Each structure stands twice: as C-alpha cells, then as structure tokens.
Amino acid sequence: MSQNDIARIAEPQPELQLQQFLTYRLSRVQAKLNAQASRVLREHAGITLTQWRILALIGVEGLRRSADLSRHAALDKGMVSRNIKLLVAEGLVVAEGDDSDQRAQTLGLTGKGRQLVERTLPIMRKRQNLLRGALDAGELAVLYRALDKLELAAEAQDFD
C-alpha cells in the first residue's frame, strides 16, 4: 500500500457510526475469538491463550528467544517474560542462558511441554478450520488480503 493510498483513505469521510469503525469491529471479533480460545485451552490444557501462543511459537514455529516471540505474535515483552517464567515453573519450557547475549535466554519445550502442544494442536487446528469454514474460499482470500493491507497501514502511518 503506497503513501498515496493511505492518504486517500485518510481523507475526511461522512460521519461514521461506531459500528463502521474498523478498529471497533476488529476489537469485537478479537474479543470473542480470544474468549472462545481461552475457554477451550483452559478446559483442555489448563493454560491461558498467551501461554498457548508461546508454547506453539516455540514448538511449532521454532522460535527460541522471548524477543522473537513478542515480535512475531505482537505480544507485550513483559507479558511474554512473565508467562515464560510461569511455563518454566510448570515444567513446560526450559530457558537456558544465551552465550551470545547475557540478557537473552534460549527457550525450548520440555517433554511435558511437547506433549501438551501435541495434545492441543489438533484441537486448535480444528477450531481454526471451523472458523475458516464460515467463509468461502474467495471471502477468505479477500479477508487475508484486507488484513495484510490493514497491518501495513498500521505500521506505515502514525495517526497522531
């Protein structure tokens, strides 16, 4: 998306109702999806959504540093740090000092952590498939393109 596209989009529009604010609508959908995922994870694994994301990023995506987890999932660094400590205390994650950076830790799943991911990943994939099934292939492609454009616009433009 070019700066001209962003400027065109930012031009004054007729008065928008709250239901027409993209951020409002996205926030409502996100809250509902997060509540649903949190309930599923609490019932099936006894963990929070943030903990699941950390475990999945380590176990499935292969990320090994908390800064990478924060950046990849757009999670607050403090939240990631607190949850890593909890996951280490629960015996799900191992954190070792990083020789190249004394402040950093290299993260990995323990056997117990791997088992939890292997047990819950099919449940979370099934949930994703059901959600994706609410849209046909064309709608899904348009949604992904729209989300990519919104993410780029959010990164490229400071609206202060």
Provide the residue ranges of all domains of the chain, joining segments of one domain with +.
22-156
pLDDT 10s digits, 100-147: 766 778 999 999 999 999 999 999 999 999 999 999 999 999 999 999
Kindly give the confidence (pLDDT) of every residue in the chain, 160 residues in length, as a single tens digit, with 9 standing for 90 and above: 566 666 666 666 667 788 888 999 999 999 999 999 999 999 999 999 999 999 999 999 998 999 899 999 999 999 999 999 999 999 999 998 777 766 778 999 999 999 999 999 999 999 999 999 999 999 999 999 999 999 999 888 776 6
Query: Is residue 106 within 8 Å of 65, Cβ to Cβ?
Result: yes
Domain 22-156 has CATH 1.10.10.10: yes
For residues 119-152, one letter each, b for 16 or more C-beta atoms within 10 angstroms of the residue's C-beta and e for the rest, the string is ebeeebeeeeeeeeeeeeeeeeeeeeeeeeeeee
- Residue 121 CA to chain centroid, in angstroms? 15
Helix ranges restricted to H, the chain: 3-10, 22-45, 49-59, 66-73, 77-89, 111-132, 137-156
CA distance 43 to 114: 18
Does the pTM of the predicted model rise above 0.75? yes
Contacts of 12 (CB under 8 A, 6+ apart): none
Longest dimension (CA), the chain: 57
